[in-house]
Amino acid sequence: MLMNKEVDVLICGAGPTGLTLALVLAQRGVSFRLIEKMEAAFHGSRGKGLQPRTLEIFEDVGILEKIMAAGGPYPPQREYQDDGSWRDSPTAEQRAPTASEPYSMPWMVPQFSTEAAMRAKLGELGHQVEFGCELIGLEPQAQGVNARVTGQDGEHLLRARYVVAADGGRSFVRSLLEIDFPGKTLGVRAVVADVSLQGLSRDVWHRFSGGAQERQIALCPLAGTDLFQLQAALAGDEQPDLSADGLTRMVSERTGRTDIAIVAVQWASVFQMHARLAQRYRVGRVLLAGDAAHVHPPTGGQGLNTSVQDAYNLAWKLAAVLAGAEETLLDTYEEERRPIAASMLGLSTRLLDEARRGEMRRGREVQQLDLGYPGSSLALEMPVRRQGLMAGDRAPDAPVATLSGAPRRLFELFRGTHWTLIGFHVQPARAPQADDLQVHLFGPGGNLADVSGHFRDAYGLENGDWVLVRPDGYIGAIVASDNLEALMNYLQRAGVSAHREE
């Protein structure tokens, strides 16, 4: 068996989780391989709803323009009654963007287009997915992991310092490591298919929801394509005919309409809904992320979004540990992300129950803007804050200006792999300095102006406060000026060697 050169990280699975992880590692210059057992890219629309928090992350990793161009807003939903009448309503609660939340609505992009945008960016960074390459075994070693992979040129042994299992809901790695995956099978099977059809307009999401769940069928025009995504729950062990004629019959039986014809099926799949959460996210040097760590019903469009955010949380920590930060930093990945997945399972299961009754309404809770890590061991407040923004919260955006009056957004200043430290009316000379720390100051001697008070409103700081923003856009620390030493210790633990000139 051939032995390949050692890499820092082996990523198993090139779905949205593996691709996000690869993008951030590539931006940080970490050596990795991204292997995918399929011979070619996945071509289904599955996770089509990108939530506002994911759009913020896509802005940070530099794929937002491609994502916006590849999709569109959700149309209203049209719910048909048995007598053929209908009622239109917004698919999601309508909100306008604000200074602190630039993306307020979900954006529809078929999963194949999201993955294509990620692969294109990865290509620009000089990396690519190794298709047709399957992980078939793992052997933990003291300083790394030996992975057995098989591909076109036979079996190889690949040595990596860490392995990330981004290998989906049926994760091979999770089984291999015997990580429990408790939860339940929800007793709902459904068909999802990408189809070309005649007989329905593209301006609304058509939902035929009269009667029992297994008679419901929905046809959503897929933004950025000429296709519709068909979703239909199945009765018992019903085996649907997934051909164009078979799906046309299903549509006709469930809607009572004979004017809708499926003319081609680009992709179709039957799936069983589960709500399950891995008992552990880490065994030594192997970490689980995305659907490998949690599976849930598609209601509320949480899966892909949660998976991308797992990877975004893990990537900077892996890079920091590989560059010399304390290994315990990696434990904060499970500490921060597992509770989020647990609450997301509750949310998507509740929405599934509402959908069964034909009354699902997606509110702010699906947008993932209020998720954060207060209470994490990486959240430092000195003194403890009683109100306003807390350590662990998502760092809000705010329009600000340079001293010459040029407009800037905080998100522009956060963009990239660095940490950001903001001082609010502090003594400039006391600012910590480090290569991967960018410092910005409001107030006398500073470089930024809070022209309309948006920063003050969003961050609620007192004069003399410092706020540290992590590379993944969450507040790491908020400290008063006389607690700068604690901030220095925090940075040290996170692998940032900062110093101060005193």
Ligand X SMILES: Cc1cc2nc3c(=O)[nH]c(=O)nc-3n(C[C@H](O)[C@H](O)[C@H](O)COP(=O)(O)OP(=O)(O)OC[C@H]3O[C@@H](n4cnc5c(N)ncnc54)[C@H](O)[C@@H]3O)c2cc1C
SS3 (DSSP) at 435 = coil
8-state DSSP, 83: T
CA-CA distances (angstroms) from residue 32 to 16, 45, 221, 319?
Answer: 16, 27, 37, 11
Applying CB under 6 A, does 302 fall inside the site for ligand X? Answer: yes
**52: contact with ligand X by CB under 6 A:** no
Distance CA 295, CA 300 (A): 13
Nearer to ligand X, 218 or 431 (CB): 218
Alpha-carbon distance 106 to 90, whole Å?
12
Q: How many residues bind ligand X, per CB under 6 A?
A: 34
Q: Across the beta sheet with 294-295, what order do the strands follow?
A: 86-89, 77-80, 205-208, 217-221, 228-234, 183-198, 261-277, 294-295
Cα distance from N-terminal residue to C-terminal residue, the chain: 58
Q: Which is nearer to ligand X, 224 or 416 (CB)?
A: 224
Nearer to ligand X by C-beta: 262 or 461? 262
**Phi–psi pair at 48, nearest 5 degrees:** -100, -5
Which range of residues in 162-170, 193-201, 208-216, 378-386 is near ligand X by CB under 6 A? 162-170
Q: Does position 344 bind ligand X by CB under 6 A?
A: no
In the region spanning residues 192 to 211, those forming contacts with ligand X, defined by CB under 6 A, are 192
In the bound state with ligand X, the residue whose beta carbon lies nearer, of 11 and 378, is: 11
- Coil, strand, or helix at residue 5? strand
Taking the C-alpha atoms of residue 395 and residue 299, their distance in angstroms, rounded to an integer, is 27
Which tokens is 198 given? 């005649």
18 lies in the site for ligand X, by CB under 6 A:
yes
By beta-carbon proximity to ligand X, the closer residue of 14 and 487 is 14
CA distance 495 to 499: 13
Bridge partners of 287, per DSSP, are 164, 282
By the rule CB under 6 A, 168 interacts with ligand X: yes
| Listed ranges 14-22, 332-340, 393-401, 435-443: which one lies at the site for ligand X (CB under 6 A) | 14-22
Q: Which of 6, 31, 42, 437 binds ligand X (CB under 6 A)?
A: 42
Which SS3 state, helix, strand or coil, does residue 144 take? Answer: coil
Please, what's the b/e burial string for 315-326 (b: 16 or more CB within 10 A of its CB; e: otherwise)?
Answer: bbbbbbbbeebe
φ, ψ at 7 (rounded to 5°)? -120, 165
240 lines the binding site for ligand X (CB under 6 A): no
Q: Does 47 bind ligand X (CB under 6 A)?
A: yes
Residue 189 near ligand X by CB under 6 A: no
CB 429, min distance to ligand X, A: 46
The owner of tokens 């290509």 is: 123
Q: Rank residues 166 and 321 by Cβ distance to ligand X and give the closer one.
A: 166
Q: Comparing C-alpha atoms, which of 388, 380, 384, 386 is closest to residue 485?
A: 380
Q: Which is nearer to ligand X, 100 or 113 (CB)?
A: 113
Question: Does 431 participate in binding ligand X (rule CB under 6 A)?
Answer: no
Instruction: In angstroms, give the least distance from the CB of 122 to ligand X.
Output: 14
* Interatomic CA distance for residues 174 and 145, integer angstroms: 15
Q: Is 297 in the site for ligand X (CB under 6 A)?
A: no
Helix (H) or strand (E) holding 500: none
Asked if 493 contacts 377 with a C-beta cutoff of 8 angstroms, the reply is: no
CB of 144 to ligand X, least distance (A): 18
CB of 54 to ligand X, least distance (A): 8
Closer residue to ligand X in complex, CB, 35/195: 35
Residue closer to ligand X by CB (options 45, 248) is 45
Task: Examine residue 35 and tell whether it contacts ligand X (CB under 6 A).
Answer: yes
Name the strand (E) or helix (H) holding 241.
Answer: none
* Using rule CB under 6 A, residue 392 touches ligand X: no
With binding defined as CB under 6 A, does residue 166 bind ligand X?
yes
**Does the footprint of ligand X cover residue 33 (CB under 6 A)?**
no
**172 scored as a contact of ligand X (CB under 6 A):** yes
Per-residue contact flags (x/-) with ligand X for residues 91 to 130, judged by CB under 6 A: --------------------x-------------------
**Residues making contact with ligand X (CB under 6 A):** 12-18, 35-38, 42, 46-49, 111, 134-135, 166-168, 172, 192, 271, 290-291, 298, 301-305, 307
